[in-house]
Amino acid sequence: MVSQIGALGKHLALMGFMGAGKTTVGREVARATHRPFVDTDEEIEKRHGPIPQIFEERGEAEFRRLEEQVVAEALAGSPAVLALGGGAVVSETTRNRLDQHAFVVWLTVDLDTAWTRVQDSGRPLARDRSQFERLYEERLEIYDVLAQGSGDDATAVLLSALHIVFSSKLPYDAAVVIDERVAGLHELQSLRPPLSTHPVPSGEAAKTLAVVRRLWEDLRIGRDGWIVAFGGGSTTDVAGFVAATYLRGVRWVAVPTTLVGMVDAAIGGKTGINIAEGKNLAGAFHFPWEVCLDPTFLATLPERERRAGMAEVVKTGLLAGRPVWELPEEEMIRACAAYKAGVVLSDPYETEGRRAWLNLGHTFAHALEAGSGYRVAHGEAVALGLVAALRLSGQPTDAVEEILRPEPVEADLEIAWAALKRDKKGEGVFVLLEAPGRPIVTRVADADARAALASLVRQ
């Protein structure tokens, strides 16, 4: 059985020195993941009074005992985002409890910034600069040993929590499943040579049972082996599905080379293949141990593929309520990947309903793909699907029109309608927007849904 990834099913605990911003960042991460937020210093003050007073009247040792108790109680609850006091991890008992129940992210801050933020705060351990510096140096070593991820803002925390990193260098001895077209354009950077290389067709042609069967038969790795998926969303889909099923599950790493893969498809643990009855109808949730993002791969991306990726970027911006498409490329990718990580952490296996938000526009998109015999590109279909979803939501379509410039496509309306009716979210169920940043899952009358679909088909 493959061990749990990152903060899935665990608390997400933020540690770091005074002034790192754990409370501010923790609240933002809690909102993004729809998890409860616990600030251990605030909990102590609620129960026992101001921390400076505790230090003065009862001493630091008593404060540490109270802190240890509050952290233990928080860790005994359901998965939450925890902001730990700067010295909480000095306790070996607390460190052991965190190791068992939490994914720990080190919120970093340099010494000068930390001092500037807290020197006039009245904190008992921030009254003398030289003492402050000694404490900072002492705790760095503890933070470094305990940290499972690190960063200085909410985006970095969310990426760390699902093991999403900006790198293409892999330290693994692995079987590499690689898009045959991508193999001719890029060389996978690895610290060790691959155990074996397994080319697969480009695009949806990779997502077939025949390809899966070939990979099952050709792989020669054990239960402790790794699979690396190197290519676009179809490659990560099929490689992840093989990783989920080979020897009842082996670890895998996703290295997406397309914009769609970097901002959406490679993140979240959904793996699958297509069958005659529809796309992605055979699959499994099997989270990659790591998702390695390297925007330099995008230099060779065809314009059609870039437009497909931008459709997912615009979708993410609409869901998040901010124009992420206006950011510089790497920052845009980071923002989109972090947003998806937050949603996935809130609903890893689509049991709470929130993860369905990521299907904004996709019910119409999948219908158009089917109605066109899959001649309409996925990105083009998503752009049109966003237009339909926004119209049904009573929201402006300006961003989609300006960034993606979708045009109606040739498709068989009856085939498209039949595909829409059997959509896996459930008949008549759509993701719409009450407002930018406020997605909802709701029912739409057949007449309205069909009219919206028909408006996307060239007459």
Q: Which residue has the tokens 């099952």?
A: 216
**Are 134 and 196 part of one and the same domain?**
no
CA distance 368 to 415: 9
20: domain CATH number?
3.40.50.300
Q: Has residue 86 been placed in a domain?
A: yes
Beta bridge partners of 439: 433
253, β-bridge pairs: 228, 290
SS3 for 441?
strand
| 17 and 147 within one domain | yes
The reply to whether 250 and 133 lie within a common domain is: no
Q: Flag whether pLDDT at 3 surpasses 60.
A: no
Pair 376, 411 in one domain = yes
Residues 21 and 133 in one domain: yes
253: domain CATH number is: 3.40.50.1970
Asked if the structure places residue 141 within a domain, the reply is yes
Q: Judge whether 3 lies within some domain.
A: no
Q: 160: phi > 0 → left, psi -120 to 50 → alpha, else beta; which?
A: alpha
pLDDT of residue 424: 62
Residues 279, 386: one domain?
A: no
Report the 3 state secondary structure along 167-225: CCCECCCCEEEEEHHHHCCCCCCECCCCCEEEEECCHHHHCCHHHHHHHHHHCCCCCCC
SS3 439: strand
The residue that leads in pLDDT, 427 or 292, is 292
**What six digits make up the tokens of 396?**
């402006």
- Check: CB of residue 284 under 8 Å from CB of residue 333: no
Residues 193, 269, single domain; the answer is yes
- Is 342 part of a structural domain of the chain? no
Residue 132 forms part of a structural domain: yes
Local confidence band at 251 (pLDDT 50, 70, 90 cut-offs): very high
Share of the chain above pLDDT 90, in %: 86
**Active site residue ranges:** 248, 270, 312, 340, 350, 355, 359, 362, 366, 378
Asked if residue 370 and residue 442 are part of one domain, the reply reads: yes
pLDDT given for residue 282 in this prediction = 93
Does a structural domain hold residue 327? no
Is the predicted pLDDT of residue 119 greater than 70, yes or no? yes
pLDDT, average across residues 8-12: 96
Q: Is residue 381 part of a domain?
A: yes
Domain end residue (candidates: 153, 187, 202): 153
Q: Decide if 334 is inside a domain.
A: no
pLDDT, position 423: 76
User: What separation in angstroms does the CA of 38 have from each of 31, 96, 363?
Assistant: 12, 19, 37
**Is the pLDDT at 148 greater than 50, yes or no?**
yes
Confidence label for 1 from pLDDT (cuts 50, 70 and 90): very low
Q: Residue 320 has what pLDDT? A: 97
State the average pLDDT for the chain.
94
pLDDT on residue 425 = 63
pLDDT the model gives residue 191: 67
pLDDT tens-digit readout, 399-454: 999 999 999 999 999 999 999 988 766 667 899 999 999 999 999 999 999 999 99
Torsion sign, CA atoms 119, 125, 130, 134 = negative
The answer on pLDDT for 223 being more than 70 is yes
Residues 105, 238 within the same domain? no
Give the Cα separation of 226 and 222 in Å (integer). Answer: 8
- Domain closes at, from 279, 301, 323: 301
146 shares a domain with 198: no
SS3 103: strand
Q: What is the Cα–Cα distance from 345 to 162, expressed in whole angstroms? A: 8
How many independent structural domains does the chain possess? 3
What's the average model confidence in pLDDT over 299-313?
Answer: 93
pLDDT higher than 90, residue 207:
yes
Average pLDDT over residues 377-406: 96
| 151-206 confidence digits (pLDDT tens) | 999 999 999 999 999 987 887 789 999 999 999 888 877 767 888 999 999 998 99
> Of 258, 273, 301, which closes a domain?
301
141 and 27 part of one domain: yes
The domain in which residue 45 lies consists of 11-153
> Looking at the DSSP assignment, which residues form a beta bridge with residue 283?
272
Secondary structure of residue 426 in the 3-state scheme: coil
Domain CATH number, residue 427: 1.20.1090.10
Residue with tokens 């010295």: 87
51 and 135 fall within a common domain:
yes
